[in-house]
Amino acid sequence: MLAQACDQAGKKLYHIENDLEWKLIYVGSAEDETYDQLLESVLVGPVNVGNYRFVLQADPPDPSKIREEDIIGVTVLLLTCSYIGQEFVRVGYYVNNDYDDEQLREEPPPKVLIDRVQRNILADKPRVTKFPINFHPENNEHGEDSPPDQATETNENGEEQLPSPDHPSHEQ
């Protein structure tokens, strides 16, 4: 994973004085954020200008905190990054949870058999949303404007577009 902090136009890279907060969130229900699970949260920094790579490992979600009807099916794994409480990037990965056996997939049991559920993360097609933030909030005291409130997503071709309104877990 590459982490770069840039201004809303994407032209400048900044030295980051404070830590970046990375969170890994499992969306337990598309309808109710209370079922979302924070799998990991780490602070990284201070960060100098440049490209960085790190590995974030986390335990799997706790199935007892997911509604039975939401265990099997498609959900989302979110990786977010914030600076001084301002989220500036969100990477969403689609996750398909299904039984490891064709017979169970065709004729699901009345109660979910957790030990037979496998998770397939579609890691090669992430959905990236960038949010403009102020990387130097101390400048606002000297009359500098805050960035606009418009987020952009990057599609498979690397083109930026406005995000879809049905994005799960709007705010964490």
Per the listing, tokens 């209370």 go with 34
What confidence score (pLDDT) does residue 3 get?
34
Longest dimension (CA), the chain: 66
| Of the candidates 96, 97, 95, 165, the residue with the CA atom closest to the CA atom of residue 129 | 165
Domain boundaries, the chain: 20-59+71-155
What confidence score (pLDDT) does residue 40 get?
97
The H or E element that residue 105 is part of is helix 102-106
Task: Classify domain 20-59+71-155 by CATH architecture.
Answer: Sandwich (2.60)
pLDDT band for position 98 (cuts 50, 70, 90): very high
Q: What count of Cα atoms within 13 Å lies in the side-chain half-sphere of residue 20?
A: 24
Structure tokens belonging to residue 105: 């997939």
What is the tens place of the pLDDT at every residue in 53-92?
878 899 999 999 999 999 999 999 999 999 999 999 999 9
Residue type, 10: G
What is the tens place of the pLDDT at every residue in 6-51?
332 233 356 778 889 999 999 999 999 999 999 999 998 887 777 7
The per-residue pLDDT of the chain, averaged, comes to: 80
Look at the pTM and tell me if it is higher than 0.85. no
- Separation in Å, CA 168 to CA 40, 132, 154: 18, 19, 16
The Cα–Cα gap between 52 and 72 comes to: 35
